[in-house]
Structure 1
Amino acid sequence: MNPMRTRPLRRILLSTVATVSGAVLLLALKPHSHPAVVAQIQSATPPSASVSSSAAPSESSSSSSSPSSSSSSKTKATRKVTGDTVQTRFGPVQVQVTLTGTRISAVTVLQVPTENPRDQEIAQYAVPQLTQEAITAQSASIDTVSGATYTSEGYVQSLQSALDKA
C-alpha cells in the first residue's frame, strides 16, 4: 500500500509548506525601478549626485571659515552647512541646512533613497513634511513621518549633524 494514501495530513502539510514558501519568495522580490520615475523624482527633489559631490567640499570649507567671520560680526549672515551622510536600511540620507544667523531658514535634501518606486513615493511625501517640521521646530527634535521611519530617522540624524557643525 502507498504510504501517502494512508497519511492525508502529511500531504496537506507538505502542500501548505510549499504554498507558504512560494508566497514568501514572491514577497521577497524587489521590483525594478523604472528610469522615467527615477528621473521624475530626482527633478522633483534635489538629491542629485552632482549637487552632493560638488556641494560637500565647498560647504565644508565655507563652514570652517564661517565661525571666524561670524565671531567678528554677529550679524544675520546666511550660511549653508552640510550634514553627515546617514546610511539607512534603504539607502543614504543627507541634508544641507541654510542658517540665517542662528535660525534655520531652509533645509535642502541632498540624498534620499530612490532605488525603487516605493522609495521614490516615500521621499515625495515624507521630505516636504520633515523639512516643514524642521523649519517650524528650529531644531532636529521633530517627529518621524508614518510609513517613512528609516528615511525620517536618517533625515533627523543628518540634520542634527549639520546643526552640530554650525
Structure 2
Amino acid sequence: MHPLNKNRPLRRIMLASAATVSGMVLLLALKPHTSPTVVTDSAAPAPSSSASAAPQASNGTGASGSTGGSGSAVTKAVTGDTVQTRWGPVQVRVTVKSGKITDVTALQYPQDNPRDQEINSYALPQLRSEALAAQSASIDTVSGATYTSEGYQQSLQSALDSAGL
C-alpha cells in the first residue's frame, strides 16, 4: 500500500476547508429579521386600517376644511392601505389640495435593523419627490429598495383611489 493512500492528509484538509467555507456561507446568509412576527401582528390590524381609510379621509377633510370662503381649495389627507412586503409593512398618507398631490408621507416602512434604516433613508425621499413630480403612483422603483418601492407604490395608489384621483 502506498504511504499517501494510508493517511491522505491533503484530502482531509480540503474537506475540512470546504465544510468550513460552506458553514460560513450559510451563517452569513441568515437574515436577522423578525419580519414573520411583524407580518402576523400587522396582518390582523390591516383590514381595520384599510376599512378606516375612508373615515380618516373624511376626518382629514373636515379638519382641514376649505381655506377662506372658497369651496374649491379643499385640503384632505388620505391614508393608503398597509402593504406587507418581504421586509415589513409600508403605508403612506397623501395630502391632496384642489385635486393635486401636495405631500406624501411614509407612515410605516421597514426600519427593524440598521440596513433597513440606511436603505429607506435614501429611498423614501426619492419616492416622495417622484410621486410629487408625477402626481400619480406611476413612479420608478429605487434601486436597492425594490420591496419598499413596490409597497410604497401600492399604498400610494390605494390612497389616491380613496381620494378620488
Q: TM-score, normalized by length of structure 2?
A: 0.71
Write the deviation string for residues 44-74 of structure 1: whole angstroms up to 9, x where unpaired: xxxxxxxxxxx988753142576xx99xx96
Q: CA RMSD in A?
A: 3.2
Greater mean deviation of Cα atoms: 77-86 or 12-21: 12-21
Note the residue ranges of structure 1 that are not aligned, 5 or more in a row.
33-54
Matched with 2:26 is 25
How far 1:15 moved relative to its partner?
A: 2.4
**2:55 matched to 1:61?**
yes
Cα-to-partner distance string for 1:20-48 (whole Å, 9 max, x where unaligned): 3222233134469xxxxxxxxxxxxxxxx
Query: Structure 2 residue aligned with 1:142, among 134, 139, 143?
Result: 139
Say if 2:120 is the partner of 1:126: no
Is the CA contact (8 Å cut-off) linking 1:59 and 1:80 kept in structure 2?
Answer: no
Gaps of 5+ in 2: 34-48
SS at structure 1 position matched to 2:102:
strand
CA contact (8 A) 1:133 1:142 kept: yes
Give yes or no for contact 1:82–1:97 (8 Å, CA) kept in 2: yes
Identity %: 63
SS in 2 for 1:114: coil
Using the TM superposition, give the Cα deviation of residue 4 of structure 1 relative to its aligned residue in structure 2, in angstroms: 6.4
By how many angstroms is 1:16 displaced?
A: 4.2
Number of aligned residue pairs: give it: 140
Mapped contact 2:75–2:98 kept (Cα < 8 A): yes
Off by >4 Å, runs of 4+ in structure 1: 1-4, 6-9, 55-59
Kindly tell me: are residues 87 and 149 of structure 1, through their superposed partners in 2, closer, same or farther at Cα, counting changes over 3 Å? same
Q: 1:86 to 1:3 in 2, by over 3 A?
A: farther
Aligned: 1:109 with 2:106? yes
From 148, 151, 162, the equivalent of 2:148 is: 151
Verify the 8 A CA contact 1:98 1:104 in the aligned structure 2.
yes
CA distance in 2, matches of 1:101, 1:13: 70
Distance change >3 Å, CA 14–CA 97, structure 1 → 2 = same
d(CA) in 2 for partners of 1:161, 1:90: 20
TM-score when normalising by structure 1: 0.70
Residues 4 and 100 of structure 1, relative CA distance in 2, 3 Å threshold: farther
